[in-house]
Amino acid sequence: MIIIEICIGSSCYVRGAQNVVEFVQNIIKEEHWEEKVTVKGAFCMGLCSSGLGVKVNGEPVIGVSLADLDGKLRHVIQREVS
Ligand code: FES
């Protein structure tokens, strides 16, 4: 099981963390990964200065931005699932 933690701390929240949550939920649905991927909310991960806070299986994903969700974040999740 892949665990994706998405920060909903105040800094990430005001920078659009809800969009990250929706993006991840949408790709899980599109790719039929419901049995493979779990999404959890989390508080500050200390990643505020390097992008939006996301961890995949406990590993920080550095540099997550709303502008590049479909590139970087999708790639990281696909790599973990396959
Ligand atoms: S508030 Fe999200 S990483 Fe700090």
Q: In this structure, what token pair is assigned to residue 54? A: 């996301």
**pTM of the full structure:** 0.94
Q: Is the CB of 44 under 6 A from ligand 1?
A: yes
d(CA 43, CA 30): 27
Ligand 1 contact, 7 CB (< 6 A): yes
Order of all β-strands in the sheet with 37-42: 37-42, 2-7, 54-56, 59-60
The ligand 1 atom nearest the CA atom of 8: 2
Indicate which atom in ligand 1 lies nearest the CA of residue 44: 4
Q: How far is CA 36 from the centre of its chain?
A: 15
pLDDT in the model for residue 82: 87
Digits of tens for pLDDT over the chain (82 positions)?
A: 999 999 999 999 999 999 999 999 999 999 999 999 999 999 999 999 999 999 999 999 999 999 989 998 999 999 999 8
* Distance from Cα 32 to the centre of ligand 1, integer Å: 28
Per-domain boundaries in the chain: 1-46+73-82
